C-alpha cells in the first residue's frame, strides 16, 4: 500500500531541491561560457554504475575543475529535468550509454564547503547537516520526515521506490581541513560516512557515488569508513588523467581561437603530465585568455603562507631540494609513506607528496620524480622562500639579490664570485661537472629575478640559442639580460658568441639597453669567470 503513495508522478518530482535533484542550472551556467568538453568523464562513471567500482573518489588541487565535474554529473543524472540540449553537442552524446542514464536518477548532492560556511562549527555541526538534508528529502519523499539520521531516511525512500540514487559529495575532505582540531565533529562526520558506506547498504541505496577532494583517502586512519573507494589522484590518476585539467590539444585550440601564444601558455601553465598527456591548470588558462595576458592566477586564490609553512619544516634537507628544483632539477620522491593529511608529515617525502596533491609540484610516474611544473608555480616558490623563516633559504635569496645587483652594475668579478659560491654549495658532486649543472646554477642564482622579469628561458635567438634570456616586466627600470654559458672556455668567448650569433635579435621591437652576460667555468682550475657588457639598441 505504501508504494501507491509514492510521489513519483506528482509535480514535486519537477521541483529542484537544495540537496536532492538540484537540477541542471549549474551546468547550464557553465555551458553559457567558454566550455572545454569534459563530458566523456560521464562515460567512465556510467561504466562503473552498479558495479564494485561504483565508489569513485577523484582528488585534485583547488581550482582544477572538481566542482565543474560535479555540476555536469548532476545535470546529466538528475531526474525531473531535461538536460538533452545541454549534452547533445558534446562528446558524451555519441556514446552508447548516453540516453540510457540521462536524467534517470534521483541525485543527492552534498557540497561540504557549503555546510561549513552556513552552519556554526560547533559540536552539533554534523547533526545540523543531517537535519537539513533530511528536511530537503522530505519535500520530495514525505516518508523521510521524522527520521533522526540520514541513512534511515534514505532507507525509507528506497523501501518506498525501490530505486537507487546517485550520491555526489563535493570537497568531502573539507571537514578534515577546516575542523582538523575538533575531534568531536570529525568523529561524528566519520560515523555519518561509515553509515552511508557500509557495503551491503551502499549496494542497496546507491547506483553510484562520486566524491571529490583535495587529498586521497585510503590512509586516513580512523577515516577508513571510505576505504572501499576507488581513488584517482594526482599521483595515480589513470585512466582519468585527461580530466585533471586541460590537455595540450584543448589549450592549443583555445590559443588558436583567442589568438594567444601557445608556447607562452605552455611555459606558464603546463607541467603536470601522465605518460604522453600534458595537463594545464584550467583556472590559469581561462584567466589568461579572459585578461589577454600571462600571470599568476591560480596561486592568487590562496596566499603563499601555506606553501611557506611546509617549506619551513625543512625535513631531511628539504631546503636543498627546493633550491635544486628552482634550478629546474627533478628529485626522486617516495609517495608511499604519505598519510594523506596535512598534519602528519614526518619526512621530506611526505611534504613533497603533499605538494604534489596541492598542485605545487608535478609528479613523473615513470621515474618517480618530482619537480616544479611551470613559471607560475616557480614564482610562488620564490615568494614563499623570500617571506619564509628558513635562514638557509633566505641566504639564497639574499645572494640572488646581490647577483642581480652585480649584473646591473656590470660587475663581472663580483658576479663570478657569487655564481661560484652557489655552484659549490648548491650542486651535488654527482651533478657538478657538466654544462647542465651550470645552467641550473644560473637559474637558481637568479631566482630573485621574478621581482623584475616576467620569465627566464632558453629561446631561439639570431643564428643560435641564447642559453638564458630574462624578459623585463612592464614598468621595470631594469634592462633585459642575455646570458651565454661556456664550459672549459672563456667568458670573453661567451660574450663574443652572443654578438656573432646576434642573440639580441630575440628581443625584436625592443629599444633601449640590453645586458650581455658571458659566464664560463674552467674545469682545470674549477673556477668561474664572468664578463658583462651593456649595449643599446
C-alpha distances out from residue 521 to 371, 419, 425, Å: 26, 10, 15
Phi, psi at residue 497, to the nearest 5°? -65, -40
pLDDT tens readout for residues 96-112: 999 999 999 999 999 99
Q: Could you tell me which residue, 110 or 358, shows the higher pLDDT?
A: 110
List the single range of 115-119, 174-178, 215-219 with lowest mean pLDDT.
Answer: 215-219
Whether residue 428 is predicted with pLDDT greater than 50 in this model: the reply is: no
pTM value? 0.77
Band (pLDDT 50/70/90 cuts) for residue 520 is confident
Q: What pLDDT shows up at residue 224?
A: 54
Whether residue 60 is predicted with pLDDT greater than 80 in this model: the reply is: yes
Spatial separation of the C-alpha atoms in residues 180 and 395, rounded to whole Å: 34
Counting beta carbons within 10 angstroms of the beta carbon of residue 459, is it exposed (0 to 12), middle (13 to 18) or buried (19 or more)? middle
pLDDT tens readout for residues 148-171: 899 999 999 999 999 999 999 999
Whether residue 45 is predicted with pLDDT greater than 90 in this model: the reply is: yes
Please state, rounded to an integer, the average pLDDT across all residues of the chain.
83
**By the 8 A CB rule, do 358 and 281 touch?**
no
Q: What pLDDT shows up at residue 388?
A: 60
Q: Which of 342, 379, 338, 375 is nearest to 235 (CA)?
A: 338
- Bridge partners of 457? 469
Instruction: Report the pLDDT averaged over residues 401-411.
Output: 88
Spatial separation of the C-alpha atoms in residues 293 and 431, rounded to whole Å: 37
Q: Could you tell me which residue, 188 or 228, shows the higher pLDDT?
A: 188
Strands (E), 252-297: 272-274, 277-280
Amino acid at each position: 500500500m505504501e508504494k501507491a503513495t509514492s510521489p513519483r508522478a506528482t509535480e514535486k518530482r519537477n521541483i529542484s531541491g537544495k540537496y536532492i535533484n538540484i537540477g541542471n542550472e549549474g551546468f547550464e551556467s557553465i555551458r553559457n561560457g567558454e566550455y572545454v568538453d569534459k563530458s566523456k568523464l560521464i562515460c567512465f562513471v556510467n561504466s562503473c554504475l552498479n558495479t564494485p567500482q561504483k565508489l569513485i573518489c577523484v582528488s585534485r588541487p583547488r581550482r582544477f575543475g572538481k566542482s565543474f565535474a560535479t555540476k555536469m554529473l548532476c545535470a546529466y543524472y538528475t531526474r525531473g529535468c531535461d538536460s538533452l540540449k545541454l549534452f547533445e553537442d558534446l562528446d558524451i552524446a555519441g556514446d552508447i550509454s548516453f540516453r540510457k542514464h540521462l536524467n534517470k536518477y534521483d541525485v543527492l548532492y552534498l557540497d561540504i564547503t557549503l555546510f561549513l560556511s552556513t552552519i556554526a562549527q560547533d559540536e552539533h555541526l554534523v547533526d545540523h547537516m543531517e537535519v537539513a538534508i533530511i528536511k530537503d528529502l522530505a519535500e520530495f519523499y514525505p516518508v523521510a520526515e521524522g527520521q533522526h539520521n540520514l541513512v534511515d531516511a534514505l532507507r525509507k525512500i528506497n523501501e518506498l521506490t525501490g530505486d537507487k540514487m546517485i550520491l555526489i559529495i563535493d570537497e568531502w575532505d573539507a571537514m578534515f581541513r577546516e575542523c582538523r582540531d575538533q575531534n568531536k565533529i570529525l568523529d561524528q562526520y566519520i560515523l555519518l560516512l561509515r553509515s552511508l558506506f557500509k557495503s551491503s547498504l551502499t549496494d542497496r541505496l546507491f547506483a553510484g557515488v562520486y566524491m571529490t577532494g583535495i587529498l586521497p583517502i585510503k590512509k586516513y586512519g580512523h577515516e577508513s569508513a571510505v576505504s572501499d573507494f576507488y581513488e584517482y589522484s594526482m599521483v595515480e590518476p589513470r585512466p582519468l588523467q585527461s580530466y585533471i585539467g586541460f590537455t595540450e590539444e584543448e589549450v592549443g585550440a583555445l590559443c588558436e581561437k583567442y589568438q594567444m601564444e601557445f608556447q607562452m601558455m605552455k611555459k606558464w601553465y603546463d607541467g603536470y603530465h601522465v605518460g604522453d598527456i600534458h595537463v594545464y591548470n584550467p583556472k590559469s588558462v581561462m584567466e589568461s585568455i579572459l585578461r589577454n595576458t600571462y600571470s599568476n592566477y591560480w596561486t592568487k586564490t590562496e596566499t603563499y603562507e601555506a606553501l611557506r609553512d611546509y617549506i619551513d619544516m625543512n625535513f631531511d634537507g628539504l631546503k636543498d631540494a627546493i633550491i635544486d628544483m628552482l634550478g629546474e632539477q627533478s628529485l626522486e620522491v617516495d609517495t608511499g609513506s604519505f598519510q594523506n593529511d596535512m598534519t602528519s608529515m614526518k619526512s621530506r617525502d611526505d611534504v613533497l607528496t603533499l605538494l604534489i596533491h596541492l598542485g605545487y609540484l608535478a609528479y613523473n610516474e615513470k621515474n618517480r620524480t618530482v619537480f616544479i611544473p611551470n613559471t607560475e608555480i616557480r614564482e610562488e616558490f620564490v615568494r614563499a622562500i623570500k617571506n619564509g623563516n628558513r635562514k638557509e633559504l633566505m641566504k639564497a635569496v639574499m645572494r640572488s639579490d646581490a647577483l642581480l645587483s652585480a649584473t646591473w652594475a656590470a660587475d663581472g668579478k663580483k658576479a663570478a664570485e657569487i655564481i661560484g659560491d652557489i655552484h659549490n654549495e648548491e650542486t651535488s658532486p654527482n651533478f657538478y661537472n657538466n654544462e647542465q649543472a651550470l645552467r641550473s646554477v644560473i637559474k637558481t642564482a637568479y631566482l630573485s629575478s621574478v621581482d623584475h622579469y616576467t620569465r627566464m628561458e632558453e629561446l631561439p635567438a639570431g643564428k643560435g640559442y641564447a642559453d638564458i634570456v630574462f624578459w623585463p616586466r612592464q614598468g621595470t627600470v631594469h634592462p633585459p639580460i642575455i646570458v651565454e654559458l661556456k664550459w672549459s672556455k672563456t667568458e670573453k668567448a661567451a660574450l663574443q658568441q652572443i654578438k656573432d650569433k646576434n642573440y639580441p635579435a630575440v628581443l625584436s621591437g625592443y629599444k633601449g639597453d640590453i645586458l650581455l652576460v658571458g659566464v664560463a667555468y674552467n674545469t682545470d682550475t674549477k673556477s668561474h669567470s664572468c664578463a658583462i657588457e651593456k649595449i643599446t639598441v
